[in-house]
Structure formats: structure tokens, C-alpha cells
A and B are shown apart, each in its own frame.
Chain A
Amino acid sequence: MLAWFLPALGFAVISGGLNVALKLAMPGIDWRQFVIWSGLAYVFTALALIIFGGWTLPLGAGVEWAILTGALSTGGAYTLFVALERGEATLVVPITAAYPVVSAVIAALFLTEVITPLRALGIAAVVMGAMIIGREKAAPS
């Protein structure tokens, strides 16, 4: 169980840590510096994978999707930074956590995955939750 549970829990905890670390970094740095810091972290990770793991950059099938994934991830880093810059983490993060809705719809349209009744219920719940939080008043400044 620990083989998957610890990294899954690590994902949840680290994600929480990232959102708070970004708020602490503001307004000292802006989104451009955040993208560059992320780029540096990716470069060091890539070097470790190449040197210690023997991994190489694949150039065959799937490369176009990998590049698009990278471009969209960079765009995601930018928009997450801007959203957290403008709103409190407890408001912004639950909304940004709703991205599986888009994934489910896109996968249904282009990968012929099925939106089951349970998934449809989940999508409705996410939209409802987003509307509940979206109507929250901001903290008095």
C-alpha cells in the first residue's frame, strides 16, 4: 500500500505547499521569475534523470503531445501565479482543483472516453462547488 500511498499523499501535501509558497513569494517575485525558477528546477531534474537514470529525450511518437503538454503546463504556471496574486489561496485553489472536469470533457470528445452517470454527477458537483466558492466575499483589506 505504501508504494502508492506515500507518493499520492506527497502529491497532496506538496501541492498545498506550492500554493502557500507562491503566496509567500509575492509580491517579491512576479510570474516571470516563477516560470524561470520552475525551468531551473526542471533542468536539474532532467540532468539527474539523464546522468543517473540513463534516460534520453525521445524523438519518436508522442513527442508533439509532450511538447504541447509542456507549453500548457507553462501557461498553467502563469495563470496559477496570477490567480493567487489576486485572490486568497483558500478561494483560488478549490476552483483550480476543478481541472478534471475539462479533462473529462476533452477525453470524451477526442479520446472516446465515456462520461458515465457518476462522472456527470461529479462534474455537476464540481460546478456547484465552484459556484458556492465563487460567490464568497473577499476578506476585508
Chain B
Amino acid sequence: MSTSPASNPTRSPQTAAWLGPSLVYIGFIGIAQVLAKVALEDMAWQQLVLWLAVAYTTFSVVLLVGFGVRLKAVPAARWGALSGVLVVAIFVALSVALEQGDVSEVVPVAASYPVFTAVLAVIVLRERLTARRMFGTAVIVGGVIAITI
């Protein structure tokens, strides 16, 4: 990751800007998934949702009270609200799927979400989908399936 744009002409100068938080996200969620697995040995996923609500509420209160953050009444707020709902829906959908089926059945389907993101991003956001991105996405999805089944 330390290769500078000057020494690597194929990498965009902006790459590090999104790659850094992406890698931190991998660390956060990768560890969270292991901790959730440990927690779910002693509680149901519905009870874990209650604790997630406590955590999110605590951070929200800190932002609202401690830092004076306010929800803006702007057009984009509807997408923000939808995003919040989808965050919870993702957790519930995966929990229900894993409750009803084996990991080896659920994971290959669930791991395909970058494909759905790519399709939606091309249609809705007009992003370009290059051969490199498609190939890289396919390799990652295949790798994730191999790791988790």
C-alpha cells in the first residue's frame, strides 16, 4: 500500500483516499463478525439486534448531544433514512437465512452482493464497469465463497 502514484502509473492518485477507509472497514466488520459468532453462542440474533440498537443509539446520542449534529431536512435525507433501514435489514436477512439454511448454502448466495452493487451502480449511478473491475470482483467473490463454506 505504500507504493506512491509516481512509481506506479497504473494506480490513480485518488486510490489511497478510498482504499484506506475500505481496509479499515474490512478490519472492523471482519472482527465484528467473529465477535457476533461468539455472542450468538449465548443469545438469539434478535437479542443481538437489541444490543446493536443500544450501541447505535449510544453513538447517535453522543453525536446529537455532544457534537450538536442534527438531521437535515434536505432531499438527500430520504436516501439517508433508507440507508439506515437497509443497514438493519441486511443484518436481519442474513440472520434469518443462516437460521434456516446451512452456511455452505447461504454464503455463496449472500457473497454475491458486490455483483448486485455493480449492476445497480451502473444503472442508477451511471458508473462504468471495466473488465478489470468485473474480473477483480469475480475473483474476490470466488475467494470469499472458498473462505466461508
Contact = CB atoms under 8 A, between A and B. Distances in A.
Interface in B70-116: 71-72, 74-77, 79-90, 92-94, 96-98, 100-102, 105-106, 109-116
Q: Specify which of A49, A83, A133, A137 lies most central, judged by the most chain B CB atoms within 10 Å of its CB.
A: A133
A98 B47 contact: no
Interface string A93-129: 1111111111111110011000000110111111111
Nearest to B109: A8
Given A58-B47, A95-B19, A123 B75 contact: no
B34 A122 contact: no
Contact of B38 (A49, A62, A118, A129): A62
- If over half of A's interface residues share one DSSP class (helix, strand or loop), that class is named, otherwise mixed; here it is helix
Contacts, number: 439
Interface string B35-72: 11111111110111111111111011001100101011
Given A49-B50, A130-B136, A101 B127 contact: no
- If over half of B's interface residues share one DSSP class (helix, strand or loop), that class is named, otherwise mixed; here it is helix
A29 B72 contact: yes
Contacts of A128: 139, 143
Interface in A28-57: 28-29, 32-43, 45-46, 49-50, 53, 55-57
A129 B36 CA distance: 26
Interface residues of A, number: 113
A22 B34 contact: no
Interface in B2-47: 8, 10-12, 14-15, 17-44, 46-47
Nearest to A95: B22
A52 to B, nearest CB: 11
Contacts of A118: 146, 149
Contact of B71 (A23, A37, A134): A37
Given A55-B46, A100-B148, 13 more contacts: A8-B105, A14-B86, A17-B120, A28-B75, A29-B79, A41-B81, A45-B49, A69-B55, A70-B52, A79-B21, A89-B127, A94-B137, A135-B15
Interface of A: 3-5, 7-29, 32-43, 45-46, 49-50, 53, 55-58, 60-63, 65-77, 79-80, 82-84, 86-107, 110-111, 118-119, 121-130, 132-139
